[in-house]
Amino acid sequence: MSDDLKKGLEGVLVAESELSSIDGDAGRLIYRGYTIEDLARGASYEEVLYLLWNGHLPTEAELEPFTEALMDEREVDDDVLETMEKLAAADERPMAALRTAVSMFSAYEPEADADPEDLDATLRKGRRITAKIPTALAAFERYRLGEEPVDPHPDLGLAANFLYMLTGEEPDDIAAETFDQALILHADHGLNASTFTSMVIGSTMADIYSAVTGGISALSGPLHGGANQDVMEVLIEIDESDLDHREWVEQATAEGRRIPGFGHRVYNVKDPRAKILQERSKELAENGEDKWYNYTTTIEQFLTEEKGLVEKGIAPNVDFYSGSVYYQLGIPIDMYTPIFAMSRAGGWIAHVLEYQDDNRLIRPRARYTGPQDQEFVPLEER
């Protein structure tokens, strides 16, 4: 057994997976063999969920009942809505509210007593979680605005329905397609911190509600989720300054300030998901306000070409463009990470199912570095 210390499990293989693969040098991401470009431009989020959970893209005959099953599970219990209202009134953070909601879902699970090794039942539970997260999240935001929740729309897909429940208005085709693509892009991404957390919990044969709640908790940390919120806050700061956006970035970098949305633990080139969202940002700009697209493209060009970040292996990641895309869709900034969780829940569920199919309790070691041979002194003599 090796005693080499791998801080942060850097480069350590802990599992085999057929779900997703990342080539950080080529800027390539695949889900079950399909490139992210093909899936984002040709499939729906529901199709990608089916692919991750079932191993193949659905036929029309398979997709229809799958989508209907998701739609049938969208409603959440009144107790969950009441809790969302109380958390909104208490000014709770959206990620914490989402964590609470998913944990509460289990109280109303019709298959709560299913055998933990019944993976078909686990998948059905995961489907319910995935269907209900948008409803609970949209309700929380409505309560924060002092408005009543909007019931799920019976004819809209998951992405369009979330935007509908958030605003009370059906999104146009561009908005719906853009958000659907964003969900696809965030559905899975190897063994990142939140996915690994979910998998560790799943390895104990805890229920899928526990695993997804754990994933949400891990994603809430600023070193994992939240970078797209940071990007948008910087863009707003630039917009409100007296400087041209290029001048602002030049001054900020000269002062040693880091611009969020650049660099990735895995990618050494531009994140392929960022390229797709950049296209969507441009399309949104052509049909609305263009300054956010202009800001991001100019900043990318300045930092990568003139500052030479590409040569250093630092390029835009998915968060650099997702922040402005969500903002153009009218989504509140502090909802960006919960939306990430809404999408990634599908990937967490897939990884738990895959791991539990050939389960072994995850139990790493730690090297002890504390004192040895301490002499015990009774309490009355200390």
Q: How many CB atoms lie within 10 A of CB 26?
A: 11
Per-residue pLDDT tens over the stretch 262-319: 888 888 889 999 999 999 999 999 888 899 999 999 899 888 877 777 778 888 899 9
CB 29 within 8 A of CB 20: yes
- Is 90 exceeded by the pLDDT of residue 129? yes
Catalytic one of 186, 189, 245, 264: 264
The predicted structure's pLDDT at residue 288: 82
Q: What is the mean pLDDT of residues 44-66?
A: 98
Quote the tokens at residue 304.
């990568």
CB 241 within 8 A of CB 331: no
Which single residue is written with the structure tokens 């570095």? 369
- Is 90 exceeded by the pLDDT of residue 258? no
Residues of the chain with CATH 1.10.580.10: 38-221+334-357
3-state helix, strand, coil in the chain (%, to 5): 60, 5, 35
Among the residue ranges 52-61, 65-74, 134-143, 261-270, the one predicted with the least confidence is: 261-270
User: What kind and span of H or E run contains 343?
Assistant: helix 336-356
Indicate the CATH number of 227-329 among 3.40.50.720, 3.40.1080.10, 3.30.70.240, 1.10.230.10.
1.10.230.10
Residues of the chain with CATH 1.10.230.10: 227-329
Per-residue pLDDT tens over the stretch 317-353: 999 999 999 999 999 999 999 999 999 999 999 999 9
78 included as an active-site residue: no
Q: 38-221+334-357, which class in CATH?
A: mainly alpha
Specify which residues 20 forms β-bridges with: 31
CB 99 within 8 A of CB 217: yes
The predicted structure's pLDDT at residue 308: 75
Catalytic one of 180, 271, 319, 351: 319
The predicted structure's pLDDT at residue 2: 67
CA 137, CA 260: separation in Å to the nearest integer?
A: 25
CB 107 within 8 A of CB 341: no
The predicted structure's pLDDT at residue 104: 98
Q: Is the dihedral of CA 55, 197, 92, 264 positive or negative?
A: negative
Q: What is the mean pLDDT of residues 177-202?
A: 96
Which single residue is written with the structure tokens 């797209």? 228
153 included as an active-site residue: no
